[in-house]
A = this chain, B = another copy of it.
Amino acid sequence: MSPEIVFDPYTRLYSEATGFIRSSAVRDLMSITGRPDIISFAGGLPFIRGLPPEEVAAVMNDVMKDNFAEALQYGATEGLESLKTGLAGVMSEEGLRSETEHILITTGSQQALDLLGRIFIDAGDPIVMEGPSYIGALGAFLANGPRVITIPLDDMGMRTDLLETELQRGATPPKFVYVVPNFHNPAGVTMSPERREHLLKLAGEFDLLVIEDNPYGLLRFEGEPYEPIASHDSRHVVYLGTLSKIVSPGIRVGWVLAPAPIIEKVTTLKQSADLCSSSLNQMFAEAYLARGLWKKNLEILVPIYRSRRDAMLEALGEHFPAEAHWTNPQGGLFIWVTLPEYLDTGKMLPLAIEQKVAYVPGDAFYADGTGANNMRLNFSYPSEAQISEGVESLGKVIRKEMDLYHSLGLDR
C-alpha cells in the first residue's frame, strides 16, 4: 500500500486529466478483503486453484525449451500472430468469425478499455454505458472526462428502448455504446437476442459504435448461448475478449477485434503505452490454447461456479429479508443485490466487515453515484461453506440496519 498523503507539494504539476482519475472501490477494499479472517464477496477472481498445476507447468516448460529466446525478447506491438490464430479459435466457439489482422493483443482487456477511451473520448464527449456498468470500464473511460449517459439494465440487459429515446432526442451523438452482454459484471444479467438485435438496428440507424465486452460468455452454466453482437455486424462493433477467466488473469492477455482503421489507431497508441504485451505470456497462452486446455478449464470451472452460484442463491433466499431482490445469473461470477432504497451499502460496509464479510457497494458501478442501495456479490472465489456463512452474516447486518431505520422512521 502507498503511504497516506497529507500534503501534496506536486499539485501544481498535475494535468487537468488527473482530476478525472478515480480510484476503484475494489482496489481500496483490497487491503481489507485480502485479510484471511474476512469472507470476501468483493473480488472478481477466477478459482485458479481448481485448475491442474502440472498441465500449466508442462506448457510453460515447453515454451522455455522451444522458444526461450523469443519468449524473453521484445515482440511486435500488434501481438503474436500464432496467438491471434488461437484467439480466433476461442471466438469461433461462440460463433464469432474473425481475421487475425483485425485483432490486437492487449495487456489484459483493461488495457483495451484504456486505449479505446483515449482514442475516442475528449473531455465532455457523450458516451453511453449501462447502469450499473463494469467498474474497470468506468475507470478507464472516466479518466478522459466524458459525459456518461447511463441507460438502465433489466433482466434482459440494456433497456434499448430507453437508448432509442435518448438517441432520438440527443443533440450530440455518443462516441460509443459500451455493453457487457453476457453474465454482466456487476449485474449478472444477459442481454436477450431481441435487445441485441435492437441495439444493432440502432447502431445502423444512428451510425453508432458499440463496444462489446465479453469476458464471461464461455462461463455458461445452463441455457442456450447467444451469438456475440459482433458476429452480426463487424462495421459497428468493437469486440473485447480476455483469457483472464478461461486461462489466467496473471498472464494479462486480452484482445480487441475491430475494423482495420480502429485497430491501427489502437495499435499506435499501445506502442507508447507499453511497447508490446509480454512475449513470454503470449507464447504461454498460444501453447495453452493450441492444446485445447482452455476447454478443459471450462469443464472444471463451470460446474464449480454453478454450484457456488446455487449455494449463494439458496443462502440469499434463506437469510436475506423479503424486501431484497437479486439477479439469477446463468453464468459468470456475480450476483447483483438490490436492497430497499433507503439503505446505503457504502455506509453499511464497515458493519459488514465487523461481521467478517465484504462486498462491493453498488454506487461504485455508476458514473453518477447512484446505486447506493445495491451490492455486488462474487461467487466464483469463496467456497460453498464460506458462501453460506458469509451470506448469513450479511443478512443479519442488513436486517439490523433495516430495524434501525425502521425504529427511527427513516424507512420510507
Residues in chain B near residue A175, CB distance under 8 A: 13
- Would A101 and B14 count as touching, CB distance under 8 A? no
- Would B1 and A269 count as touching, CB distance under 8 A? no
Residues in chain B near residue A2, CB distance under 8 A: 78, 101, 260, 263-264, 267
User: Given A8-B261, A53-B68, A281-B278, is A110 in contact with B13 using a C-beta cutoff of 8 Å?
Assistant: no
A271–B144 Cα gap in the complex (Å)?
14
A224 at the interface (CB under 8 A from B): no
Question: Per-residue CB proximity of A278-318 to B under 8 Å, as 1/0?
Answer: 11110010000000000000000000000000000000000
- Would B250 and A27 count as touching, CB distance under 8 A? no
Residues in chain B near residue A78, CB distance under 8 A: 1-2
- Select one of B24, B119, B244, B260 contacting A18, CB under 8 A: B119
Residues in chain B near residue A136, CB distance under 8 A: 272, 275
A65 at the interface (CB under 8 A from B): yes
User: Given A122-B15, A261-B9, is A48 in contact with B65 using a C-beta cutoff of 8 Å?
Assistant: no
A251 at the interface (CB under 8 A from B): yes
19 new A-B contacts, CB < 8 A, other than A57-B65, A114-B274, are A8-B261, A9-B261, A13-B175, A13-B209, A14-B265, A15-B118, A21-B272, A23-B271, A24-B271, A27-B77, A45-B74, A48-B72, A72-B248, A107-B107, A107-B252, A114-B272, A139-B272, A143-B269, A252-B275
Shortest CB-to-CB span from A378 to chain B, Å, is 12
- Could you name 20 residue pairs across A and B whose Cβ atoms are closer than 8 Å? A1-B78, A2-B78, A9-B261, A10-B261, A10-B262, A10-B265, A13-B120, A14-B265, A15-B144, A23-B271, A27-B271, A45-B74, A57-B61, A57-B68, A72-B248, A72-B251, A108-B274, A139-B271, A250-B280, A252-B275
- Select one of B3, B15, B64 contacting A119, CB under 8 A: B15
A71 at the interface (CB under 8 A from B): yes
A235's nearest neighbour on chain B, judged by CB, is B9
- Would B14 and A119 count as touching, CB distance under 8 A? yes
A104–B32 Cα gap in the complex (Å)?
20
Shortest 7 CB-CB distances between A and B: which pairs?
A72-B248, A139-B272, A250-B279, A57-B64, A8-B261, A72-B250, A53-B68
A277's nearest neighbour on chain B, judged by CB, is B252
For A2, A77, A107, A249, which residue has the most chain B Cβ atoms within 10 angstroms?
A: A2
A410 at the interface (CB under 8 A from B): no
A388 at the interface (CB under 8 A from B): no
A30 at the interface (CB under 8 A from B): yes
